[in-house]
A and B are shown apart, each in its own frame.
Chain A
Amino acid sequence: MKILVCISHVPDTTSKINFTDGDTQFDTNGVQFVINPNDEFGLTRAMWFKEKQGASVDVVNVGGPETEPTLRKALAIGADSAIRVNTPATDGYQVAKELAKVVQDGGYDLVIAGRESIDYNGGMVPGMLAGLTGANFVNTCISLEVDGNTATTIREIDGGKEIATTSLPLVIGGQKGLVEESDLRIPNMRGIMMARKKPLNVVEPTGAAAETKAISFEKPAPKGAVKLVDNVDELIDLLHNEAKAI
């Protein structure tokens, strides 16, 4: 089984978000970048497929050279090789189009992406990639087993879970549950040394055009101070009469 894990290069979850150039660009100053958490669960699940079922695991990112440390980290965790499509990511559609070319050229059976990146939160790359490549698609996937050509998935739905069966080729929009938080791997020294020797192939983009454009960014208006109350009667009164929330 040939697996491709899509890796988004995103600001660490604790990052303070600021913008520059008249609020048109994300300010990367002092920001630490990491593997998108939703992708990292998928990468770890892919490692299990490699170890238990002999799958090969490649990772891919669409982005400039600044994303390579994030791909190297994925290699240090255990991926076999990495691909970087050498173009800035501009929107979900453009990324999906570039990834579709990688998927078709590489003949992958299973593509695991995160359900969304934690920066732009588009939530569209996995679905669009499935649509473009004609693969089956399961979103918000919290469990994935593959036996031969058949896959059994569990998807998180509003208020519960849905169990489904499908077949390869398959694209997964993954999240926590594919593996647990405690299953995530921190690269060790040996992994980091080996990652330096693993191939990181830079491929040129197809030049797909974006369909959306982020014109400007803004931050939420600052919040007023919290109203501290001493007793529950006062709280209920405020929630009822002031906030109209109960």
Chain B
Amino acid sequence: MSVLVYTESENGTYKKTALEVASYAKGIADMMGTTATAVAINGGDTISLGAHGIDKVLNITNDALGDFNASAFAKAIAQAAKAEGAKVIVLSQSANAKYIAPLLAIELEAGYASNVVGLPESTSPFVVKRTAFTNKAFSNTEITTDVKIVGLGKNAFGLNETSGAAATEDFAVDLGDTSGVKVQSIDKATDKVAIADAEIVVSAGRGLKGPENWEMIEEMADILGAATACSKPVSDLGWRPHGEHVGQTGKPVAANLYIAIGISGAIQHLAGINSSKTKVVINNDPEAPFFKAADYGIVGDAFEIVPKLNEKLKAFKAANS
């Protein structure tokens, strides 16, 4: 009857989002008077999971799960859920988790609520608050099935450290035919922070006038350990890759800090970044709609301000690290 959480790892390390969903699963388990169990696939050391509220880890080691395979991962997690008799299953909203969740929902005949922003309002009935209309609103959603799947939005809950330790058990799965979709190759920049993992995102728009002017944006991202992003027109013009497009039809950003440079703030863009905690805008047009959505702003020319800001940030980082 425990709450089951799928904790994703990369190269044997649990990401911050995995520790966040672990903390969250523990929160739900407390509400329901039960414990939180993690399921890990080819995962690593489970100390960090124990330190975030997990009592038990079901560790699945299987060569067929070496490459990501949504349907096989869903089957494996479903088998863990059944073995645990779990009524609530928690996943993050990483690209892979979002890929797995609907397949898992069908495997378990479970209702699924995505983009959830906090602990359930109640667990019986099971009601969660989730974002809708691309962050322009929230929906209080009841999951009415016996088994429930919750997709927790990034940075929606945070981390809760505990003093616990997790017991680790090997868990064997029977996957059947896993040949449906076969990964051939992965193209991933290893020297850059992904928007999905970033605490800070530095984003720029058409105000930068051309792709040749992005050096100062990348410099700022380097200084801050941030990901770079862009507005829709910039990706449509081909100045930056599509993967950087942030907004309603691009990527959502739920960072701690979002810095928008030369972005006017179209409603579709603002919707996409609304879940970020602190928003900073630098724009030469004081009437730009972004100023209404931001916490801090500087009215001025990006080409003057950004190089200055980079210098000062460098000094700040040197003094504070």
Contacts and interface: CB of A to CB of B under 8 A. Distances in A.
Given A17-B133, A140-B99, A227-B296, A124 B278 contact: no
Interface stretch (B30-38, B52-60, B156-164, B249-257): B249-257
A98 to B, nearest CB: 15
A204 B173 CA distance: 40
Contacts of B20: none
A245 B257 contact: yes
B131 to A, nearest CB: 7
Interface in B128-172: 131-145
B312 A233 contact: yes
Contact of A239 (B68, B94, B243, B280): B280
Contact of B182 (A157, A165, A232): A165
Contacts of B144: 210-213
Interface in A95-127: 96, 118-127
Contacts of B192: 159
Contact of A159 (B99, B188, B299): B188
A142 interface: yes
Q: Report the interface size class on chain B.
A: 35 or more
A139 interface: yes
Q: Report the interface size class on chain A.
A: 35 or more
B185 interface: yes
Secondary structure class of chain B's binding surface, majority of residues: mixed
Nearest to A38: B249
A13 B135 CA distance: 12
Contacts, number: 261
B252 to A, nearest CB: 9
Interface of B: 68, 70-71, 74, 94-96, 98-99, 101-103, 105-107, 110-115, 127, 131-145, 180-189, 192-197, 200, 224, 232, 236, 242-243, 245, 248-250, 256-257, 267-268, 274, 277-278, 280-281, 291-299, 305, 308-309, 312-313, 316, 320
A243 interface: yes
Interface string A153-175: 10111111111111100000101
Contacts of A26: 133
Contact of A245 (B139, B140, B256, B309): B256
Interface of A: 11, 13-14, 17, 19, 26, 37-38, 91-93, 96, 118-128, 130-132, 136-140, 142, 152-153, 155-167, 173, 175-177, 180-182, 210-220, 223-224, 226-233, 235-236, 238-240, 243, 245-246
Contacts of B181: 136-138, 153, 164-166
